[in-house]
Amino acid sequence: MSTFTKFLFVSTLVALPLLAQERKAVKKPATFPEAVEQAKKAVEEDKLGAAVAALQAAIRDLQKKQRAQILTALPKPEGFEFRDEEVDDKGQDAFNLAAMGLTISRRYENGDKSLSVEVTANSPLIQMLGMMFNNPALVEAQGGEMVKYGVHKAILTKSGDDGQELQILMHDAHLIKINSQGVGADDLLKIFDQAFVDRLEKPLGKNG
């Protein structure tokens, strides 16, 4: 082996440790205060695209906190096991949030009994349902029953042979939809009672 070849071999061995495993640090999403400050700074610098992106990050952080509060407010009926729909940590994108609102789902099971809950928050589309909730005659004509939760209204209807559907409208902006199988109307209303709706006032309430 020539001197030059030996030099290359030794140089390669020396350089190998420099090629150690490397992992790029994952950037943590901005918190609401951080994102707002980033947006303010971007506006001052006339970087409007960056400002919009920062505000979207702020909304995602609030959305994450709102989701956690809603899940905490959902009932935990005795004997039922439940699972929540998994979501991406980044949350819904800005377009879906503006068009459809935040959607949270939970399913309960207890033998042949089941409940599925879907909460849609801050959706402009929910306002279109207001006319139906304000027309008891139409609801009753379709076999439904109006239920009051303080200032909020709900519609209870039979679904299939052994099911119920309960829709609760809050502040004309949020809809809680519950479908049950094997759970009667009285038991359903005991699970999703006034105390449940009162708990939702924190994440879904409005000022004034």
Q: Per residue in 148-194, pLDDT tens?
A: 999 999 999 999 888 999 999 999 999 999 999 999 999 999 999 99
Shared domain check, 132 and 62: no
Shared domain check, 189 and 138: yes
Q: Is residue 7 part of a domain?
A: no
Which pLDDT score is estimated for 8?
45
Which pLDDT score is estimated for 95?
46
Q: Which domain holds residue 144?
A: 78-204
Q: Is residue 5 part of a domain?
A: no
Which pLDDT score is estimated for 21?
64
d(CA 192, CA 175): 13
Which DSSP symbol is given to 28? P
More confident residue, 106 or 33: 106
More confident residue, 110 or 28: 110
Q: Is residue 170 part of a domain?
A: yes
Q: Is residue 21 part of a domain?
A: no
Find residue 9's DSSP bridge partners: none
Shared domain check, 190 and 175: yes
Shared domain check, 196 and 171: yes
Shared domain check, 93 and 53: no
Domain boundary among 73, 105, 139: 73
Shared domain check, 186 and 91: yes
Query: pTM of the entire structure?
Result: 0.79
Shared domain check, 175 and 88: yes
For residue 123, give the nearest of 61, 84, 66 by alpha carbon: 66
Shared domain check, 96 and 198: yes
Q: Is residue 3 part of a domain?
A: no
Shared domain check, 139 and 40: no
Number of folded domains that form the chain: 2
Shared domain check, 107 and 69: no
8, two tokens: 């290359």
User: Which pLDDT band, with edges at 50, 70 and 90, does 69 fall under?
Assistant: very high
For residue 170, give the nearest of 208, 207, 205, 123 by alpha carbon: 205
Shared domain check, 133 and 43: no
Q: Is residue 165 part of a domain?
A: yes
Beta strand pairing status for 152-159 and 145-149?
antiparallel
Shared domain check, 58 and 124: no
Q: Is residue 114 part of a domain?
A: yes
Which pLDDT score is estimated for 1?
57
User: Which pLDDT band, with edges at 50, 70 and 90, does 80 fall under?
Assistant: very high
